[in-house]
Structure formats: structure tokens, C-alpha cells
Amino acid sequence: MTRQTSPRQPRRRQIGLWLIGARGSVATTAICGLAAIRAGVTDATGCVTDSLDLSSAVFPGWGDFVVGGQDIAPTSLEKEAGRLAAAGVLPQSILPLIADELRAADAAIRPGYDPVTDRGPQAHAAARQIADLERFKQANDLASVVVVNVAAAEPPAADWPEYRELDALTRILASPAARSLTPSSLAIYAALQAGCPVVDFTPSPGLSLPAITELAQQRGLPYAGRDGKTGQTLLRTALAPMFAARGLRVLSWSGTNLLGGEDGANLADLGQARGEPQAKARGLTALLGPDVTAPLHVDYVPDLGERKVVWDYVSFEGFLGTRMSLQFNWDGYDAALSAPLVLDLARLVAGAHRAGETGPLSELGFFFKDPLGSTEHRLAEQAAALSQWVRRLS
């Protein structure tokens, strides 16, 4: 995005939005969408913040952002946007209208950390990323930079001692021999060291290591995560409370996800490996108690392209033991569901930072499958908490 100052807020400095995984489908959709909203060629359908009555004294507007980021992929944003348009995620017609903004964002993307080629102590890689962030901030005279992780999902974190406290982690990062952090955690470590609030939109280890949240706490930074709630879990957290509220006993909640997409194969494998089924079952347990059978599968079906097709079958017991069932199908574009939330989170976390909030922003649990700082999974309650928090800050 260009450095142009929004005409409505002439004196205020802009806010950076720094995307980890900036050339992926979610980031590209977010960048295109932000540009299209600013160009006035689309509205903010799918975004939450436009209906939240945000105080402009606290929260930045769509025009207040400058976009940059990092990625190890070399594909240009323009090319990725073209691919997404062919796949139905973006309308072809907006591409010429946002070409300049895409090029500007593309120019602001720096190489990410590649564990295969990036030798040497990880502290060096972190230092490079910190320098990139500071350069981005200075070059654009930014008030602050919100860092959002939307890079490809990584396997679950190992249980290593240096993950448990910051001192140990710092020592390991300095060691030339050891490479401990996954790319997502390393990028978030660097972001926090650079004084940036962070959003972790993925199920990667990212922000979840105690040593990393210790760093956020030490630096007095707010953060939010994790794992954007965009499809099956969104529906589950809207529907499971219905059964609970009506005293209906859910016996089983079986789910299948079919997904195409460039890294669908990876995700399907990972889904099993990193225990996504167990994680989602935990979510159901929080909502419905421990006795629900909840098998879950993730399948890679390349022809679906950027679509995600979900089937859930819920078997429940009602009055006098009657057996009944609910099933639903969801057919959506994951990137189109994620991208507007990424933009919402950038506004909200930038506002929280300006308002002096620190630590986990539990009131943003509305956006996440696995909300940091909160045990509330019910969607309506999360929406109410978000509204109230926005009012408090505004």
C-alpha cells in the first residue's frame, strides 16, 4: 500500500500491517481486499469491525494502514492474486483497479526465514527480521506495526526445555549449533523484540510457547490468537450452545473436511499429525462436556481448489431418550473467510496497543478456534464480549 495519508485523518501517523506469509492465499486476499475497500470498489462484507462502532480516536480505519510482510515464496502478489481470481476467491474485475497498491505491497515484502537454507544461529535471523520491521516502520513513519501470522501451518511444538522460559530460549537462539524455533515462532519472537503487537492466525506453535508469551509480557505488548475460526468450528460454536441451552444431549459430532488449495495435502497430513481432530474434540468438550464421540477427518481433494467442503453429523438425545440428528454442509472459500478477519484483527489489536492493553486479548476469542486467555468458546458470548471490550476502549 502507498504511504498516502488518509484525507479524513490528516495529522495521524499510519499503522503498519506486517504479514508473516505475505504471499500466501490469505494474505494476498487480505491485501487485495484492503486495497479494494480503500479504492471504494467493494464494501467490507465479511469484516466485523465496520458494525462495531469503533472509536476512530483509538482504532485505525481502513485508510490508515501500510502493508508489508515477509515470505520465503518468490511468487509476486499480482500472480497469486490472478490465481485466486481464477479460483473464484477474488473478482477478476478488481485486479486492474488495485494493481498499484499490490505492487507497492509486493515491494515491501522481505524474505522470510527458511530453515533449509538459513544456517547460523537463529538469533542472526531474528536480528535480520527485527531490522526489516524497523526499516518498514521508519520508511513509512508508522505509529506502530501490527504483525499477523498467516503462514502455512506447522506441526505441533515439541516439548523442549527452552520453550518454557525466555532465558533458556535466548541462550539457545545464540548458539550456532542449535536451531530450535519453527519459522512462525521465530518471526513472532522477532516481532515482539521489535516492539510490535502480534496476532497468530494459524494453529502453528507461533505464539503458543511460554517463552514467547513471556517475552510479550516483558515487553508490555498485547497479542491475540490463535487459529482463525472460519468454517467448521465457527458453525460448531454457534450450534453447540443451542443444544446445551435446550438441554439436548449430544452423543456424537462427526466431521469431515474436504479441502483443495495449494497446501491442502500438507494440511491433510498435518491435520492428523498435529492432532487437529483431538483439538477440535476438545473444543466440543468445552461446549458439550466430555462424553461426545467426535471423529474428524481432513482430506485433500485437489479439484476443490480454494474451496473447503465440510460435513458434520450430530446425533443427539432428547426428551425420554428420543434419538434425533442434525447434519450440515458448509461450502466456502477459506481465504475469503479468513482475510476479512485478519483485517479486523489488525484494526482491533492496533487499537488495543494504542490504548495501552497488554498480554493476551481474551476478548478477541471471537476470532479464534483456540482463544488465548479465554475458555469461552460460545460464539454469541464471544461476540458480546468483543462488543463490550470495544465500547470500553472507545
DSSP β-ladder status, 109-111 and 198-200: unpaired
89 binds a copy of itself (CB under 8 A): yes
Provide, rounded to whole angstroms, the least separation between the CB of residue 93 and a copy of itself. Answer: 9
Binders of a copy of itself in range 258-277 (CB under 8 A): 258
Q: Which stretch binds a copy of itself (CB under 8 A): 53-61, 65-73, 201-209, 330-338?
A: 330-338
Both ends of the chain: CA-CA distance in Å?
27
CB 52 within 8 A of CB 391: no
Residue 346 is placed in which grid cell?
489488525
Q: 153: closest CA among 247, 41, 276, 58?
A: 276
Provide, rounded to whole angstroms, the least separation between the CB of residue 29 and a copy of itself. Answer: 7
Provide, rounded to whole angstroms, the least separation between the CB of residue 276 and a copy of itself. Answer: 14
- 256 burial (CB, 10 Å; 0-12 / 13-18 / 19+) is middle
Provide, rounded to whole angstroms, the least separation between the CB of residue 377 and a copy of itself. Answer: 12
Question: Which C-beta is closer to a copy of itself: that of 315 or that of 358?
Answer: 315
385 binds a copy of itself (CB under 8 A): no
CB 230 within 8 A of CB 344: no
Binders of a copy of itself in range 336-375 (CB under 8 A): 336-337, 339-340, 366
Question: Which C-beta is closer to a copy of itself: that of 92 or that of 218?
Answer: 92
Binders of a copy of itself in range 281-300 (CB under 8 A): 293, 295, 297, 299-300
Among 10, 51, 138, 158, binds a copy of itself (CB under 8 A): 51
CA atoms within 13 A on the CB side of 233: 27
131 binds a copy of itself (CB under 8 A): no
Q: CA torsion, points 3, 352, 70, 165, in degrees to nearest 10?
A: 150
CA angle 346, 45, 364 (to 5 degrees): 35
Question: Which C-beta is closer to a copy of itself: that of 134 or that of 299?
Answer: 299
Listed in sequence order, the DSSP H helices in the chain are 25-38, 77-86, 99-107, 122-139, 166-174, 183-193, 210-218, 232-245, 264-273, 276-288, 334-354, 379-393
Question: Which C-beta is closer to a copy of itself: that of 170 or that of 387?
Answer: 387
Question: Which C-beta is closer to a copy of itself: that of 7 or that of 321?
Answer: 321
The footprint of a copy of itself on this chain (CB under 8 A) covers a number of residues equal to 74
Among 40, 120, 247, 290, binds a copy of itself (CB under 8 A): 247
Which residues lie below 8 Å from residue 203, measured CB to CB, with a gap of 6+?
153, 226, 227, 274, 276, 279, 369, 370
Provide, rounded to whole angstroms, the least separation between the CB of residue 76 and a copy of itself. Answer: 19
The DSSP letter of residue 52 is: T
Percent helix, strand, coil in the chain, to 5, is 45, 20, 35
Give the C-alpha separation, 322 to 352, whole Å.
Answer: 48
Provide, rounded to whole angstroms, the least separation between the CB of residue 346 and a copy of itself. Answer: 14
CB atoms within 10 A of CB 34: 26
330 binds a copy of itself (CB under 8 A): yes
88 binds a copy of itself (CB under 8 A): yes
Among 76, 170, 217, 254, binds a copy of itself (CB under 8 A): 254
Q: Which stretch binds a copy of itself (CB under 8 A): 8-16, 188-196, 245-253, 354-362?
A: 245-253
Q: Which stretch binds a copy of itself (CB under 8 A): 42-50, 100-108, 110-118, 179-187?
A: 42-50
Query: Mask 190-229, x = binds a copy of itself (CB under 8 A)?
Result: ----------------------------------------
Binders of a copy of itself in range 137-196 (CB under 8 A): none
Give the C-alpha separation, 382 to 256, whole Å.
Answer: 25
Binders of a copy of itself in range 13-32 (CB under 8 A): 29, 32
